[in-house]
Structure formats: structure tokens, C-alpha cells
Structure 1
Amino acid sequence: MAPTDSVKQNGSPHKSYSAPSSESEAGELSDEAVTPGPDGPASTSVKHPLHQIKAPGSVQALAVDDDVIFAGTQGGHIVVWSLETYELLATVPAHKESVLSIALSDDRSLLFSTGADAIVNVWSTESLQRLYSLYSHFEIGDVFCVVHSTKIQTLFWGAQNASIQWYRLSTDATAKSPALTFSPGSRQHRFFDSLGPGGIANVIADEEGATSGRNNLGGRVLTVPSSNYLPYAHKSYIYSMLLVKGLFTRGRDEEVLITGGGDGTIKLWSIDGLSESGPKQITKFKNADSNVLSLSYRGSFLYAGLSDGIAHIYNLASNQLVQRLQVGHGDVSQILVGVESILCGTSQGWIKRYDDHFAEIESWQAAAGKILAMGLTTTPDHDMVATGGNNSFVSFWSGKAGSQVSIAASARSNDELVNALREFVAYRTVALNPICVRDCHEAVTFLRKKCNAFGGTTCLLSPQEGVNPILLARFPASKHTESTRSILFYGHYDVVDAEFDANSSNPTWNGDPFVLQPLSSYLYGRGVTDNKGPILAAIYAVADLVQHDSLSCNVTFLLEGDEEAGSRGFRQTVQSAHDAIGPVDYILLSNSYWLDDHIPCLTFGMRGVVHASVSVTSNRPDLHSGMDGKSVQHEPLKDLTVLLAALVGPSGTKVTIPDFYDTVDDLSESEVKAYASITSSLLPGHPEIRNEKAFALSLMQRWRYPNLTVHRIEVPEAKTAVTISGSAKATLSIRIVPSQTAEQIAQSLTEYLRAEFAKLQSSNTLTVTITSKADPWLADVKSEIYTALKDAIIDVWNPDIAAHQQRAFKISAGGNHTPETERGAATLSKSTPPKSAAASSSSTAAAAAAAAEAPTRTSHRRASSLATTGFFPPSTLPREPLFIREGGSIPAISFLESEFDAPAAMFPMGQASDNAHLDNERMRVENLYKGREVLKRVFARL
């Protein structure tokens, strides 16, 4: 007998032995009937995953529910993620060794898992509490597959020793089970657990360093009756198992058990007489020299993935082999049948898609290693294929072939929003980089085509030569009346440049910044949060409403491509196109961030800014301090130092420009309460806030008080350490607050510096240049648009608990868990009521392993001074958004308000840790999706 590798295990595969059989193969086809498919990529397509999740080990099994996906891993864990946002919801140490198979009951209330520890566990899908743990009297080895019959309330599983076992939960579970004096997983196997050289046993510790096994997960530990055992059901390992209903004419509810083994046979079993004689073989199919690794079915057709790169299709109604597909790329480790296609996953990481006529329509490499598990979900919200393998990733792919997705239909799907963002990020839209000119123009063309496809009318505005065009896109209200409002949405498609050197020993980015990387519930890439993601979320929100004839207001997009370079020519261009853009009732932006990573915010104020350069020059060349230096001589750098010192006074913290603080508003009692409210909202999740008053004061200093900063002092490169430079230059900025104006402060700064310089009676020359300025901005939080935004955020981020029963998942506790997943765990909806409120067990090791793979991040440029991202138990999260201000400046806000005589509102979509302008810029998937939904509700209401 020749051994063949089984792809079911990671690292060191088990060996299964295929023995020659004298029995004839049912419905055998000739070689001419084989559908060819070359071993290389024939008609391959470039296919990007919708998302990827790093798992704490090789992914051996997957089970897809309506709203979550369960994964069984090599380390013995069951891990649960949200299908909506891909966030981690729970991690349970389910088995002492690898989880090899998981399955759901028909009503999705129970989850079944099997492992290399010979244990079968039954879990509540609502709480992930273990209900039962089943073990056999026999040494069955690894349990590779499990299925559940709802009709007879019975579990079936196939094992390494070629046996089938079953357990009737409805009756057997009520029988009194003998008390156990040991953990089933700790039984000694006569071969695998025998003593080594010298009579020493090799005890393997688990992830926590303990050798006692994982036997504290709750639930009843039950012994499988010895009568519920069918030995030698196959002549090798039983790798796969199915239950098929209505196969024969005796009744639609009649179930047939189908098993596939390492001996190359597929067997059909009647399970009507379990209580008397166990499963009875009905028929079988023989595949010489091939392991049957996976099974799937639809209608009367059975699909089998074999170990030699072949997939067989059988007609069970006639007991015939009707098609043989030459899939190639190693073993066909997984096979799935969707509504319109057949999907084959291989041990070399490839997926091939066939249509109902068995013609190959798509092929792509889904993983660098083996595909060990696949799952399929087709719902109104999701049409995805999930894959897992020994690369420790769960990847999600579009359930449709690439050619089946149209632009017109794409607005319905968040997956298509991510695909559009992938394409958008790929354009390197750096305004000041001449090699990026083409990308900038292609990016604005991409946006224009999107808007046109979604029903908008567009045109391009040209600011000036060498500056990227401005896109103007208009979407009229579905039903226009005299009271119809008009909203102007401002954004920018240009980005700050980013470099990536794949050959560097310490790269600043974890991947190419202009290739979108969807990883573990985040989207990484330059511009995803500033400002390409929010732009597309707004466009897709409008597109949703246009498709459903529900857009209640006129929406105009004004998207520039030069914001990061100073918005050259923007004012003049907008003023020239005033009539084409207006009239405007409200201005909306999404170009700021939350105060932390958990509580949604609405920004209602930003400081203004005056940027200036101050130069002092001499009419003489550089001098030598020893030969030419005199105590009465005015040197440019000394003069500049005196001027800068005069600006900030003896303490260096108070601006001394005359009347500078006269117009700054006094702190009102209502403001004090507002800052106290922000602090109290943050406190439950941020223990680093030790002094509430001090924290509130720090927010005030950054948000509502002005400040002067000296950024840089420059002198010409000195030839020696004793050179007196002939010039010196300083660059500075003044952040100003409402009631101050940029024009007034710029004039006061210039006049004050000139007056102070005159006092020096210096022979040098002073030059003060105002390089740019922007007025501060403060909005009315009680306005109609802020009310609409607030209500939408409350509805989207806090779904009605009465209408959405919740699973009682708790994510893994411990120092390395990811706190940003807590809100996902709190708001996960489920149509059936929870079976138990018990929390799942924690796994610090699993959470640490997953967290270790996430890209490292530095602090965000606009993030708060909070030391951590925080951790909020769901019960402590505020229902309402925080109303915050920012210390930074966006010049376009105050200009657009003045130009169109309309109030502006800022809707921050990203988290404080998004890293805009920094390495590994990112945006959470949940924020992107819910940002789209918030804007959709606002555009439908105003």
C-alpha cells in the first residue's frame, strides 16, 4: 500500500493508505470524459480579497453563520469574527489539540467541533458556552468530520481509525453519565503516548504552559455508548461527511449519510435504523489511488474533491459518475457548490470556479500555502467565499466571478465600496510630486465616472496651470420642492506622499502604501482615512438613495486635488464657479477624527492659523566671530532671537502681541459643563485620566485658546563654528480661536515685530512674510444638520436592543486583547434569542498571537493626548456622540461658509489612531461602513 499525504494537517501531514480494490467503480468514466484543466493557471484572473484576518494559527475548519464566521485553528481554538466588519468577537480554547472540523445545526443554535484530541464538543452559538463534550470508549484518534441531523437529533463523526460514531443528543444526553476521574483528552494512547527512550514520557504543555488539559470550559462530559460505534466503515481515515435530504423517493425528510475516506471510496449510508443496527451501507463509489478529501452536494448531484487534483461529480439518482474535472494545483482539499457555480480549493492555494456546465470560468491563487477550509455565504448582505489555510489567514472573496459585477449594481454592496477604495488608493495622488501628475488626473476621472454611473452630472474645474482639477458632481433630490435643501460636500482626493522599500531591513510601512491591505477589520493604505475613504462613503451613500428614489436633498460634491499642497487657486476657482455650485444650505465635511478609538464624535470647532516667516539679514557677508565680533554689533541671529523672545515673553508661554487676548471669549459655565461631560464620558475607558480637571484644561488649551509656535530657525550653512551668519530666518504659526480673525492677527503680528525691531536700532533688515492664513471656525451644534448627524449616529452605532437580540460573546480577556472590538461584540445582532448568558472562556495566548501580526503604529497627528486607545465595556459606552473641537485648521471651511453664506458641519469618520499623514495609515471597516450609513440617513432626512 502506498502512502498519500493528507492535506488536513498543518506541518507534518498524516499518512493515509489506499489499498487496491477488486470491487468495480460505480459509473466509471473513460479517460475521454475528463474535463481538462492544466496544472498551471489557465484563465487566471487577478482577484483581490475583500478582506483578510490573521488567525492565531493554521485555519483547519470554517463554519459560516448569517452574521458571523467560526474558525477552528491548529492551536485548538475556535475564533469568531463578524461578517459585517471582520472584527474579532470571541476566542475560545476549545480543544487540547488542533480543531479539525466545525459544523452548525440547521437552526444555527448549536456549533459542533472535533479535534485531534478525539473529542467532540457541542457549543451554544449565542454564548459560546460548551454544552456537551463527547468522548469514546475506543481509541479513535483524530476526528476529521462531523455532521448533525436535526430530524433525529443525532451527531455523526468520522475518525482516524476508520470508524463512524454517533450520539443522539435528545435521548442519550439525558441518560446518566458515569462520573469522570480524568480528562478525556488526557487519555494515554498505546502508541502515540508510549514511553520514550529510558522510559521517559514526553508531556506536551498547552499554550498557557499547563499540562492539565482544557477541561474547565463547562458543560456535561458524556461517554458515547459502545453500541454507537461502526468500526471499519472505511479502510482508511474518514476525511469528509455529509447529510443529504430527500435523495430517494421515500420522503423529502429522509436523510442519507455520505462519507469519504482515505481509501478512495465514497459511501452512502441509511440512518433509519440507528437504534437497532447502526448505519447501513446503501452504495459506494470507488476512486482508485485517491483520497476523498471533501464532499458537497446540490440537488441530486454529489461533488467530491480528491487528493490527485481531480474533482468527481456523481448523479446520486442514477448512481453514475457524470463528470471528472482535472483541477490540478495539488490535491482538491475543498469543494463547495454555490447557487450558480462550483468552487474547488487546492493544496497549492488555488481556487477554481466552474459553471453548471462544468466549464472553468475563473481561477486565482488565494493563498501562499494550502487551502484547508472553505465556507460560502449568500445573503442579501453578503455573497462571499471564505478560505482558510496553513498561512494562518482567513480570506474573504467575492462570491461572484469578476465579470458578473456591474458598476450600476455596485452601490448596493459594502464589498463593492471596498473594491472601489482599493482602486482609488492605487492612484498615487501626490499634488507636489511631478511624477504623480498622471495618477492625479486618472483619480479624478475615476471619481467622475463613479458619479456619472450613479446618476450624477459632473464637470471639472481647472484652478490654474500645474494644479490638479476640482471635481464638481451634482445629484438632484429625487423629488424637488420649494423646501428642498442643498448640501455641499467638500473633500480632497490628493494625499501626503509615502515611500516603501520592500528591501529595507526596517520598512516604515508594512506593505506598499498605494496597495490597499484589508487586514483584521482594518483597511491600510495611504489616503484611506484622509480623505479617500470618507469621499467614497459619501458618494456611495448618495448612490444608495438615488437607486431607491429616496434622496431628499440636492447633494453637490466639491472635491479638490491640492489640499495637502495648500489649495492653490481653490478660492479663485470656487468664486468663479459660485453660481454653478450654489445655492447652498449646508456645507458638510468628513476630514477629522474621533477623540479616541471608541466613542463617535461630531466636530463643531477648529482653530484658525496664521503661518509666517521672519527674516533678519545683514548687508555684509558672513563674518568671523573672533576677528569681527563686537558687543555692540547687531548680528542677524541675535536680532531674530530677541524678536522671538519678545513674542512669547519671559515665560515663553504667553503671546505678547498687544491686545492679542482681548477678543478671546471668556470661558462660560456651559462650556465648563461641556468639557466635564467629555471627560466623564472618556473616564470609564481611559484609566490614565487621573485628574479630570487637568484633562479638561488640556483640552481647552488645545481647542479654545490661541497659541504661538516657533517651528524652525534657519541660518546659512556655517563654514566653521565661529561664523557670524549674514542672515537668519524663523518660521512660526499662530493658532487663533473664534472671535479672532486671521487678517487682524496677521496685521498685528507684522506691526508688533516691526515695532520691536525698531527698538533695537539695528543696521540689519527685517522682513515679515505671511505665508498663509485661515480663519477659525465654530458651528452651532443645535442647527438642523448637527441634529440630523447626531440622530443618525445614535441610530447607526446603537441599534435598538429590543429589535436586535444580542449574542453574549465576550472577546478574549488579557493584556493583549484588542479593545476596539468591544463595540462590535456589544452590537452583534441575532434573530433567535440567546440560549445562555454565560461568557466564553478567555485565551490570552490566542489574542496575543493575533495582535502581534498587526502593523505597528505611531501616534496620530490630530489624535488626542490620551495615552491609550482605551477599553470600554459595552455598558459604559455613551449612546450619544461627543461634541468636540480640534486644535488644527482646515482653511476651506471658513472660506466656504463665507462664500456661500451657509453653515458648515464636520462629521469625523475615522478613529484617533488612524495615522493620517503617517506610516500605516488605516481605517476601521466598521467606521467606513457606518460612516456611509450615517451620511445616507442624513441625506435622506434633510
Structure 2
Amino acid sequence: MTSSNNISSNNFNIHESEYLSQDRKPLPLSSTPSTENIILTPRTHTPIRLNSPHINMAELAIHNNQKQQQQQQQRSKQSSPLFFSDGKVSGPGTVVTSASIATPHFQQQQQPQFSNFSQISNNSSTTTSQPSTALLSSFSSSSEMPITTTPRYNDRQDLNGEDTDNDNNNNNNNNNETNLPRLVHKWSHTHSILCCLASPKNRLLFCGTQDGKILVYDMNTYSLTDIIGLENNNNNNNNNKNNEQHHPHPHPHHQQASILTICLNKDETRLFVAGSDSLVKIYNLQNQNDNDNNNKNEKYQCTHVIYSLVDIGDIFSIHWCDLTSTIYIGAQNASILWCHISFDNENLSSKGNNQQTNSKNHKHEHEHEQPTQHDHHNHNHNHHQQQHTISNGHTTKNVSDIERLPHFRYDKFFDSKGPGGSQNTLQTNHNLLKRRYSKNTNESHHHSIKLIECKSDDIIRFAHNGYVYCLDVITNVTIDNSSESTFLISGGGDGIINIWSFNNKSSGLTKVASLENDESILSMKIQNSLLYVGLSDCSINVWDLLTLQMIRSFQFGDNNFDEILSLDIYDNSIYKGSSSTGLIKLSILNHQFISDKILMSSEIEDGVINAVKIFPLDNKIYLLSGATKSLSLWDITATTTTTTTTTTTTTTTTNPNHNSKKNLNIDEEDKFNINNNNNNNNNNKKKLSNDDMLTMLEKYVAFKTISKNPQLYLEESRHCAQFLCKLLNNFGAYQTKLLPISNGNPIVFSEFKANHNGPGGGPGGGPGGGNKRPRLLWYAHYDVVDATKNEAKDWKTDPFILTAKEGNLYARGVSDNKGPTLAAIYSVAELYYHQQLNCDVVFIIEGEEECGSIGFQKVINDNKQLISGGTSGGIDWIILSNSYWLDDLTPCLNYGLRGVINASITIKSDKPDRHSGVDGGVSREPTMDMMHLLSTLVDPITRKIQLPGFYKDILPLTLSEKKLYDNIAQYSGIKVSTLMTKWREPSLTIHKIQVSGPNNNTVIPQIVKATISMRIVPNQDLSKIKQSLIDTLNENFAKLSSSSSTSTTTDKSGNKLSIEIFHQAEPWLGDHENKVYSILFKNLKIHWNQEPLFIREGGSIPSIRFLEKCFNAPAAQIPCGQSSDNAHLKDEKLRIINLFKLRAILTDTFKELGDIS
């Protein structure tokens, strides 16, 4: 027997929100930084992005002067941030002056490289004669050597360009030192860097340039190792001499057209390059570590050249999909093309020259079978035959094949001769270049190049009404009821995001949905299910691809001409490269003000950042940025590492796609195969173990799903919803999707089909061989109450890091309601895996329960058929676990909750705040009226609520219920009258009274506002009581004066009354004697070895009674946590054994429910 002293004071926890939002705004949320903190630099020019597909850089160079031609042949400069123009290294005591910065001569000697120069620089006492700026590196106009300076937050400069915030700058640096990016290295080039990416496996950086080169940098030495696009005529060259002066001639298969986009395959063995020449070239990277001297000329072999007979113009975007072995192409003519390529049967090594290869053997590579309307009219008849052959690993190309390429294709207008057969200078140079290209190609015998023509059917013409700037692929998601799980996302100059599904039968694309933005889409980034798009008006829109909602829009001042050319995401921060404001890091979370951003680019770049790419390497996260004439490498690794003390070991993530410092993703290998076999059995059992459930719980609680403030945690809540979708899909759910809410977090819907093949019938069969399986709905929520900032101060552990201690798990939401949710999911998954699931199970997991279940009822009503299973017969049972035991020792079953009505009562005077010494007693005061009005609601003697007919519908106490109360009183020592008052009797509470004006003792407030709540009990009609409350308040207020109105009442002194009902929840009473409670009671007794108590609670769960009425099905609740779990309070916990026992109890219960007829 447990005495009353052992009953926790928190054993009557409420479940409705403590933070009801009365003014929740619809999505998308708008985030606008302060305009005074926008950092702008003068815009001079934007690099060439749109070159004619028929004019290459060699032809454009004819119009350049001799000096510009020489500059294009100079060596791409390499510089370390520690070196100044005198070649000395910054060290302790070094003083950097403006004179030293402007030294015009650069020592052309091999300099040592430092991968961690900041550690050296930080030890120096470097000062400058110039004012401190926000630049991490700044270049003098006469020197190409970068100088490191300290970055700042809240950068502001006055009109004279002087620093106006030096003191604040010092404080900000001290407070935010761990968040500052670090410039690792910077390289300069003669032309703009238009695109870039990293190959961590090869430890290489690739960047495409405006002058048609692909620069290759080594991450080990930070040196330029190769220039793809120039022919290497010196077999004995080394990294220190590998510059453009050693490569004077164009590569035989590469023209100097601007490189606009590049990408890699998943294994980083293939580099895909495209640009203004309308071609896609594929390079083999597998030989880049080959030390064989015979292969030094072929370090990066061009193995394929893809083209189209359609004049597609510039290629702005490409994406290689390993899943379909397809390259997708976004072009200037608004079309999307694709080409299937198989590398399986190809000898990727340059050593296998003797292997017989024929492109016809490749299933998706298409030879030229007939000439087209684009062919020259002088082509011979033999051009109908195959125009290039491969013999002994060599490629022999006919001139007619070359003329099929866009650069050499005959154009009736531009290539026609003038009067007398004359040609202009451009035509002459074009023909010379064509002949030289053909000659070099025929004389090239070092490796095979395949010309691949895109099929005429493999194209979507006018996929957009503008240039197709962006392409990407998202996998393992469900979008807009599509049966596919992999989608191509495209963004165009028309501002439209098109979502395409892959058609397996035709190998084509089918448009699934279109999302409209106000301006052109120039860049985009997919993070989990969220799509960030950078627009041409200096804004970023965030779309949830699972619900097709725009959930947020970032605005960056009034500079609508500042185009966001590139962006990437890491650690809740956006790194955006723009056409005039440079490279800027800003926080996604609004509580880290967007105006507190870091300008990372230098003035020498004119504010133009064309490309931004984030990648992991050696347990660090780097950012690569391509600018006007430079390439920069930044270390942006989040320095705040976190560890846990749970039963599983975790490490800090280095994946840039993760939304926090912990690995919150669910990998593909987390899936299990429903078919039992020896190969998968052990792995499947591991994925269903309690240890794996704790691992998932660790990830689950790490999401800050605080529904109280969507402007702060909107993205984390969406990531959490996607986390649940992936988990349920990996366990074999029949269907899983997010149901969008217009002004809140989405609802996770998932369905498991019964698959038991035992005596009850096969899958889909009912008990005893019937046609209908029972259908169960499990209700839960993934949102939590706040535990950040002030709320987290009293916690002994980090609220969002799962911590195991003394048999308990500590974290916000571990007990309410994330732990019980996972227990239910794992119990269903275990039954489904063993093919013992006797009933269909539907999960409804909402994200707004702590805020009054905003939008929940509407979405459930709109999707009633989906949840009910169509014509299958509807929901039979509703079960949830969102409650607690009466104490810490005795298991319980909850069968009743009170309802609630929250109201705000306001009395406002026509007169402003006044002084009591001047106007006291002149007229009726709002505060006095409020006191009189509230006193009319409750009898001062009996404490009964004074509403007409309020107690008429309350159910009488039955003998069976009286026995339940007596049993609880005998066990706990709590009086029966106290239990009944808390659980089955209504109440009215005045929570707070607020007044306007200053907080002193002489003011007569103009406005007084009171917040009250009424707890109602089962069988009371919520709508009637709500209206009765409003009518009673209006009538009693009218008695204070001679005039009244229906909705707003005004007394003769000008005081007005207004009433707002901002939250309501119906009471609920379950049948504790029905089949579900009987099964739960039995299983609780078996697993805990004692009889559970039937209890009720005085709090409210907004959705439970609504679900009962909506689906005409009884609900049952099985508490998981103890009374001391501290839900909504500091140090929220859940005992591990309670979590494991709940899973076991639910497993047995779900198994038995299928036998209920």
C-alpha cells in the first residue's frame, strides 16, 4: 500500500497547450531583416552567363585587344591568406599597413602551404591602419594577396564608410566566436568562376570558368593540379609548373565555351560538364591517381560527349541520377532533356586499349542513323551510315560527325556566304577552328570518346516558360498522391517549380505538380523535404515538397536587383551567393536574427558570387565559393559538438544536408525486408530491437518541434515529420503522407495493412474468415512545449539530447509524447514483419497538440475517407498513450478527461489612462466593472458556477464508478471527494488580469483584460455552455448600465465589453468495460504482474472526443509515464522499463484485436 505522501504533486498533469496561439498567421511566414543592417557593395558587372551556342570563347577573343588575349594565357594565381605582397608570413608582432598591402610585386616562388593558417594568424597581434570591416579577406586593388581580418556580426557602416559599432563589434566577436567561418584558402583566376563542386573521395576541387576551363585543385596541397580544357604537351610537367602557358592549344574535345554547370555521380568517378556550347561532356576520374607515366596525359579522360539535334542553346543545369543512370539537362530553350548512359560494360581504365568497344552495345546510347534538317546540304549518301567507329579502343570520327555538334553544325543564315562567295572574319575563324578540331580528333589515338545523341523523344519542350536554371532529384518521398518515390525538381526563369515523376514504362517524365513563385528561380537547394529557392528579387522561398506548401519567405531589403545566384544549407544557416551583395551567412531560425549575418566575400569580387557548394571532408564541413575572379575555401564546421549518454553511441555529423549537429537522418540501410530469409533475418531483428528504438528515440527528441513559435521552429518540425514518414515507410507501411495544415505543422498519416495468414483468414480477411479486418487508429503528437532559453536554465541536462541516467531517459518530449509514439510504431512493425498483424493500423500523428490542435479537425474531416480506408468499413477502435500513472508504481488505464473552454474578457473605456487623483470617482472604471462582472460567475458561498442549467446534464455517479474511486482511495489514501472534484466535477478559474498603462499605484487603466477557463465534464454540451457563458457575461455587464447589445455592450460611461473564446476541447468518457479496455487490462496485469487502476484526469486532450464522433468509434487510453515524469516541466523523463513494457503490451494487444468480431 502506498501512502498519499508518495503520490506526486504532478499526477494530474493537463495535456492541452500552455501556449495557445490566439493570432496564428497562415503560411508562408515572412522573415524580413532590418534594412539598416543590409550590407551592399557597388555592383559593377555580372559575369557572362548567356553566351550564344554558336559563338565560343575563341571567336569572342577576336574582338578583344592584345592585352586581354595575353591575360587569358597567364597562369591562374595561387595565394595563401598568410602571404602578403612581400612574400613574408604574418606572425607575432607583424604590422600590416596600407603600404604593404599595395606592394605591386608578387614573389613568383614556391610558397609553403598552410591548411590551418587561422591558428597561426590568431596568435599574431596584427593591426591595420584601415578601419575594421566585416570582410574575412580583403584585397587591395593593386595586389592579389588576401589579408585576413576579423569578421563581424551586425555590421553597419556610416555614410563615410567608417566603423560605427566598434564596441559592439568586440562584444559580438566574443559572444559568437565559435560561429565564425574561417577562410582556409583562396585562389585567383583571370576569368569568373561560374560553377564549382568538391570530390571528397578524390580530395579534389573542380570549378568551371567563364573562359571554358575546368580548374582542378588538390585539397592536400591547395595547389592547381590540372586544367581540363587545355592539351598537355609536356609529359614531364609537375604540379608547380602546371599552368596555362604550358597548354597553349585547346584540348581536341573541348572548346573554350563558358562552363555553366558541373556535377558528379555518387561514386565520384564521373564528372559531368556542360555550358554554352550545348554539349554535356563526361570525364573519367578513376585514373586521376594513376602514377603510370604513359597515362599522365589522360588523367581526366573525356569518355562521352552528349548532344542534341535540337538547338537547345546554353545548358544552365545538369543532374546525374544514379538510380536511373540518366543525365538530366536544363537548357536555354526552356526544355528538359535526358540521356540514359550505362557505364557497367565499359572499361574505365585507360590501360585497356585492346578491349573491343562499340557504342551500339550500350543500350541507351544512340548512333546517327539518318541526317536531319540541320545537316549540311552537301552531305554525301554515305552519311546515312554509322559515322564513327571504335576499333581497338580507338575512336575515328568523320568530319560529318563533328558537324553534328552544335558548334560546327551548319546554319543556313550565319554560315551562308555573301556576294561572290565571300566570308567575314568570324566565319573564316569558325571554319579554321572546325578543321583544326577535326584534324586533332582524327589524330587522337589515346582513348575512346563516344558521341551520344539525345533521342528525339527524350525531351520535354517548353518544360518551363523560361530558361531552366536548376535541376535536382529527391528520393524516398511521396508527393501529391503519386505512386512514385523519386522525383526530378526543376526551377526556371518563369518562377515555376515543376515536380516530375519518373515513368518507368516510357523512361520519361510526368509532371506531378507546379509551385509558383513571383520571380525567376536562379538557384535551389533541397534539404530533406524542404526546397529552398533563390529568386531574382533578392528573396528566398522555402517549400515543403511533401505538403506542397510555401512555409517561409526570406526577404532581404529593397534591393530587388540583387539576384541570388547560388545557395546552400548547413547547421540551420543559409549561405547565399548574390550578384551584388556577395557571400553571406545567415540563420534560418528567426530567434537568431537574420540581420545578424556575416558578409564573407571581399570587395575585389564586386559583390558577385556565382557558385556556393558545401561538402564534408575529414570530419569537417567546408564551403566552396566561386566569385568574379577567385575561388575561396571556407571552414564552416559547427564547433559546438554534442554527445549523449544513452545506451547507443553517436558522433557529430559532417553531412552538410543535416539540419543540426547530430545525424537525424534515416538511412536506406535502415529498411528491413518483409521476406524472411537468412541474409536479412539478423539485420531485420536488429532494426526491430529495443536498442534500435532507443537510437530512433534519440534522433526523434533532437528535433525542436516547439509548436508554440512556428516562426522559430517551423523547419525543425517539418524535418521531424519527414523523419517519421521515413521511419514508417522503412517498416513497410502501406502508405504514408503528410496532411498539410494551412497555418501549422502537418499531420503524419500512415497505414499498415493486416498481413496475418493464420486462422483468422488471409491478409484482408476478417475474423473467422470474414471480409473485413478490424481497423485501429493510433493518435499521437510530435510537437512539444518549449524548453529553450529561459525554460532550459533549470534543466540538469540538455533538453534536446537524450540522456540516460538511473534507469530513466531525460529529454523534452520523451514522455509527452515521443517515447510512447515510437513504442506503438515498433510494436506494429514487429507484428507486420512476422506477418502477425491481425488488424489494419492507421497512425495519425499531429504537430499542433500543444497549441490546441490548430487545423486538426478540418484536415481530418477533409481526409475522412482516406483514414477510414474508403469502403473497408471505417475505424473500429481509437487508442492513444498521452497520459500518466497516478503514482510511480502502479500501472493505470485512463478512461476519462474533462473538457475546457478558454475565454478572454476585455473591458475598454473610451477615455485614455487617467490619474486617480484627478479623475478618480468621476466615471465607472474598467477595472471595477471587471471585478463586479467576474464575481457574478461563481457563487461566493457554494462556489457553484452561476450559469443557467449548467449542472443539469452532468451524469450521476454509478455504483461501478464508485467502486473504482473507492479502490483508488484505498490504494493511494486520497479522499474520494477530492478525486471526484478533480476528475468528474466542473470548475471555473480566473488565470490572470492585465491592465493598460504604467505599472504604478495612481493610474486608472483604460483597458482591463481577464483570462478565464471553465472545465466541463462528460455529457455537458460544449457549444451550449460556451454560448451560455457569453450570454451571461453580456447580461450581467448590461445590469451595470442602462444600455446593452448582443456582441458588444457599452455602459453609459463609455465602457465596452468584448468576449473571445480562443480555445475549446470537449470532455471525454470511455467505456472501461469494453473489449479494448479488457484486453489492455489483461496485458497490463500480465506484463506488470499487478492489476492496473482505472483513473480519470482533470485535464483535456482536444482531439480525442472529436475523433470518437468523427469515426463513430470508441477510444481507449493507456498511460505510459509515471506521475513524476515532469511533462511540460524541467527535467522531463521517461523510465526505460515503462517504454519497453508499453511496446510489449501494445504488441500483444494489436495481435489480439484482430480476433474481435
Q: TM-score, normalised by structure 2?
A: 0.38
Question: Which is higher, the Rg of structure 1 or of structure 2?
Answer: 2
When normalised by structure 1's length, the TM-score is 0.47
Q: Which has the higher strand share?
A: 1
